[in-house]
Amino acid sequence: MSQALTRARMRDAIRRNLNKEIAKDRIPSAPDGEPSSVDPLPSNALINLKLDEAISFIVRKTGFTESNPVTVSIAAQTANGAFVVNLARLSVSVNEVRRVSWFDGSTYQRLRPVSRDEYSKNYGDWENDSVGTPSQFWIDGYKLYLLASPQSAGSLSIIAGTGVIGFETDNDVIEQLPQDYHSIVLDCATWLIADTQQNDSEMAGYVRAFQSKTFDGIADIIKFKRQVNRELQATFPARRRRVYRGR
């Protein structure tokens, strides 16, 4: 299997798409992602910007969120009320919570998603609920409220939707989007870069070609997403909060 492209290598691929020479064409030992001295445009800064914009565009059009299991270990609690998990402090950027289970060390129990209002209506003041075995949860303000607060140590298994994040450095790769679809990011970024030079007839041709390839690719991602979603159980969306590292 081919290796996922870093941001630097994506810059090389985009320059190839635009029929531009790269530094390695003249100096094989040159670093990845650098332009040739005789063909300095588009600049690294512009390509990086358009890669970020391409990822944002694709995510908006597809609503893509990969399903990832996230485990949160919780110690035994003694205080009444809900146990609160701050989703912003998890190891990944969470766009939605699809399923939550409680693991007591031997078995998993799937928790029922409820709203704060529904819980208060049916069970009263949740702030005074005693500790026990977790059975329900709700999402509010980018936090997960767990009831009952666990009286024994265990862990939450959260099936979370994580958006395609993007790049922070030249060595980063897009881990959230399956590698088969990375070429769509290249096509979209190529289109957006060419679109900055619409007065150039060659670039105008690239706009038409790569815009078409981008939308074909987006349709493929949507098909992939639907196929994956059919395998998932019912979801319970959190308040959306997408974070793009490069923007």
Q: What is the pLDDT of residue 77?
A: 95
Residue 93 has pLDDT above 60, yes or no: yes
Render the burial of 111-135: b for 16+ CB within 10 Å, e for the rest.
bebbeeeebeeeeeebeebebeebe
Residue 230 has pLDDT above 60, yes or no: no
The 3-state secondary structure of the chain, one letter per residue: CCCCCCHHHHHHHHHHHCCCCEHHHHCCCCCCCCEECCECCCCHHHHHHHHHHHHHHHHHHHCCCEEEEEEEEECCCCCCCCEEEEHHHCCCCCCEEEEEEEECCCCEEECEECCHHHHHHHHCCHHHCCCECCCEEEEECCEEEEECCECCCEEEEEEEEECCCCCCCCCCCCCCCCHHHHHHHHHHHHHHHHHHHCCCHHHHHHHHHHHHHHHHHHHHHHHHHHHHHHCCCCCECCCCCCCCCCC
Q: What is the pLDDT of residue 200?
A: 93
Q: What is the pLDDT of residues 19-68, one digit of tens each?
A: 999 999 999 999 999 999 999 999 999 999 999 999 989 988 887 766 66
Q: Are 7 and 172 in contact (CB under 8 A)?
A: yes
**What are the residues whose beta carbons fall under 8 Å from the beta carbon of 87, sequence distance 6 or more?**
94, 97, 139, 142, 143, 144, 238
Task: State the pLDDT confidence band at 116, using cuts at 50, 70 and 90.
Answer: confident
**Greater confidence, 59 or 9?**
9
Cα–Cα distance for residue pair 60/25, rounded to 1 Å: 36
Task: State the pLDDT confidence band at 247, using cuts at 50, 70 and 90.
Answer: very low
Report the pLDDT averaged over residues 221-226: 82
Mean pLDDT across the chain, nearest whole number? 85
**Greater confidence, 34 or 238?**
34
Q: What is the pLDDT of residues 133-166, one digit of tens each?
A: 999 998 888 889 999 999 999 999 888 776 666 7
- Using DSSP bridges, classify how beta strands 96-103 and 154-162 pair: parallel, antiparallel or unpaired: antiparallel
Q: How many CB atoms lie within 10 A of CB 231?
A: 7
**Greater confidence, 91 or 244?**
91
